[in-house]
Amino acid sequence: MAALPRRIIKETQRLMQEPVPGISAVPSETNARYFHVIVTGPEDSPFEGGLFKLELFLPEDYPMSAPKVRFITKIYHPNIDRLGRICLDILKDKWSPALQIRTVLLSIQALLSAPNPDDPLANDVAELWKVNEGEAIRNAKEWTRRYAMDN
């Protein structure tokens, strides 16, 4: 593997030295471009209490192209599909090299606080979120309890 750009090293160090509350990101032992991530479900969201595992990969041309991120832990959310893929503009056409790993993870955390059923990736979840928010939130809590709690 080519030498790791200092940008990635600096980002990694900063993630360790000034961790983002509720988020941990650790590079893999064998590939410093691959991060194991845990995002804590935000307070007052249906995901509260959950520990969500994600994987994040910095492609060869990072930061010119966005990191690739997906959920590994199952999550009931209108903008995250059943393969864990995330519908988030900054991961696609709104990516900018001024964004960093930490900003991406913060945006994902914010997405958990504010699901957006009008811009869905998981259509049936979004549909339920729109017609019966109460039930959708119950489902989300149930999935969180069942799959993302650590006890």
80 catalytic per annotation = no
CB of 100 to other proteins, least distance (A): 7
- CA–CA gap between residue 149 and residue 145 (Å, rounded): 5
By the rule CB under 8 A, 9 interacts with other proteins: yes
- CA–CA gap between residue 12 and residue 50 (Å, rounded): 24
Contact map string, positions 11 to 30, toward other proteins, x by CB under 8 A: xx---x-------x-xxxxx
Count of beta carbons in the 10 Å neighbourhood of residue 129: 24
CB of 62 to other proteins, least distance (A): 10
CA distances to 13, 41, 60, 61, 97 from 5, rounded to whole Å, are: 13, 31, 10, 10, 14
Region 66-125 residues binding other proteins, contact defined as CB under 8 A: 68-74, 76, 80-85, 87-94, 96-100, 103, 107, 116, 119, 121-125
Member of 8, 23, 39, 105 binding other proteins (CB under 8 A):
8
Q: What are the beta bridge partners of residue 34?
A: 57
Q: Count of residues binding other proteins (CB under 8 A)?
A: 77
Q: In what order do the strands lie in the sheet with 51-57?
A: 23-27, 34-40, 51-57, 68-71
Of the residues 87, 101, 108, 121, which is catalytic?
87
Region 39-68 residues binding other proteins, contact defined as CB under 8 A: 51, 53, 55-57, 59-61, 63-65, 68
- Catalytic residues, by residue number, are 87
